[in-house]
Amino acid sequence: MADIKVLSFDLDDTLWPVGPAIAAAERAVYDWLREHCPQAVASHSIESMRGLRGALAERFPERRHDLTFLRHRALSEQLAQAGYAQAHADDAFEVFFAARNRVVLYEDVAPALARLRKRYRLFALSNGNADLHRCGVAHWFDGHVNAQSAGAPKPDARIFAELVRVAGVAPRQILHVGDDPHADVVGARQARLAAVWVRRHAQAWPRELGEPPRTISALHELD
């Protein structure tokens, strides 16, 4: 990686498993609503609340990449329909967001990022809305570009262009590391970045994408 000056990392399912965090966060906000705004969940389950967010993404396709907007707006509308004030939506979203950022890093992440930080500038590049400070990883990173700040999600070229702009280097000097073949690998390659696929769970590389790139199962395999 002689020409590489910047490493960018996907977050969810690359640095930590996101499923448990989201499940815990959805349970936390549902329980909070049941205690503080019971009428808002009288006819809802966690699953039906997911449906509300899905319908909202259909109504606002230009904002479907903005997960914070979708989550907060869905809570606002759900609470308003039950007669509750906007302030309750702010409180409910904070309950969700606090729990969503209580992540458990994969075991290889902390030592690998600490080592790699000595040789490269590190950036986070994510479609999600994780907060680096709340997740406890901000001290390893020089910056964070996400779909909300870039106005588009991976694999859209705009989010990679924003990374290039923020990092201040040529695309060929960035190596992107992520778990999603389409969003991370294809997106990075189309934007002329180098890419490494993190194969965390022995999943198969999609045949329609041709030969896989360099593949690792843990971050300590990075040079």
* % residues pLDDT > 90 (the chain): 96
Sheet-wide strand order for 121-126:
143-146, 121-126, 6-9, 174-178, 194-198, 214-216
Per-residue pLDDT reduced to its tens digit, 52-70: 999 999 999 999 999 999 9
What pLDDT was estimated at residue 202?
A: 86
Rounded CA-CA distance 38/40 in Å is 5
Q: Which residue has the tokens 């570009």?
A: 145
Q: Is the pLDDT of residue 1 over 80?
A: no
Phi, psi of 7 (to 5 degrees): -110, 130
- Domain-wise residue ranges, the chain: 6-17+104-221, 19-100
Q: Which residues are within 8 A (CB) of 3 and not within 5 positions of it... i.e. 6 or more apart? A: 172, 173
- Report the CATH fold assignment for 6-17+104-221: Rossmann fold (3.40.50)
Per-residue pLDDT reduced to its tens digit, 170-197: 999 999 999 999 999 999 999 999 999 9
Rounded CA-CA distance 67/179 in Å is 19
Q: Is the pLDDT of residue 121 over 90?
A: yes
Q: Does domain 19-100 have CATH number 3.40.50.2020?
A: no
Does the pTM exceed 0.85? yes
Q: Is the pLDDT of residue 223 over 80?
A: no
Per-residue pLDDT reduced to its tens digit, 202-218: 899 999 999 889 999 99
Give the helix/strand (H/E) hosting 153: none
Q: Which residue has the tokens 């700040």?
A: 149
In the predicted model, what is the mean pLDDT of the chain? 96
